[in-house]
Amino acid sequence: MYCAAGPIRGFVADIYDRLRAKYPRKRVKSDVRVDYPGHLNGFASDVTVMAEGAATNAKGLWRYEDVEFVAEVISRKTAANDYGPKKDAYAAAGVPVYLIVDPYTGRWHLHTKPKDGEYRGELSLDFGDEIDLTGTMVGLVLETGEFPRD
């Protein structure tokens, strides 16, 4: 199983590096807090892509309106939050693309087309199947063939 922090950090680093191939460093963030609408919805996502020209607010935090992509890598402690409250908060905030990578199931889950507080587009496939984001504002393909599996 992938309960150790090392393999999870490896997933985060892999996604971050793949996004950095397209985006400048100032747009790709890891573990930075963004306050989303709702009560207690300040989240530090594993990987976040900010819009061009995004800036922090008066409190020094990134604005949720500037978030274009979020990726969360599941751990045993965060699974319920990543699949539930975070997904709901990201959808309510209109985050266009939310990716969940689950090393425990060997699957990834892509959520797109937020509307009225929920994601209308959802796709779940196995590690090894590429994550085609070319039809989204992210505009690239993430390979998952090297993601570790049971």
Task: Kindly report, residue by residue over 13-68, the tens digit of the pLDDT.
Answer: 999 999 999 999 999 999 999 999 988 889 999 999 999 999 998 988 899 999 99
Q: What is the pTM of this model?
A: 0.91
Per-residue pLDDT band for 2 (boundaries 50, 70, 90) equals very low
How much is the mean pLDDT over the chain? 90
Per-residue pLDDT band for 6 (boundaries 50, 70, 90) equals low
More confident residue, 7 or 4: 7
Q: Which residues contact 17 (CB under 8 A, 6 or more apart)?
A: none
Structure tokens at 125: 């496939």
Structure tokens at 75: 């751990």
Give the pLDDT of residue 11.
86
Strands 97-102 and 67-73 come out as parallel
Name 50's bridge partners: 67
pLDDT score of 130 more than 60:
yes
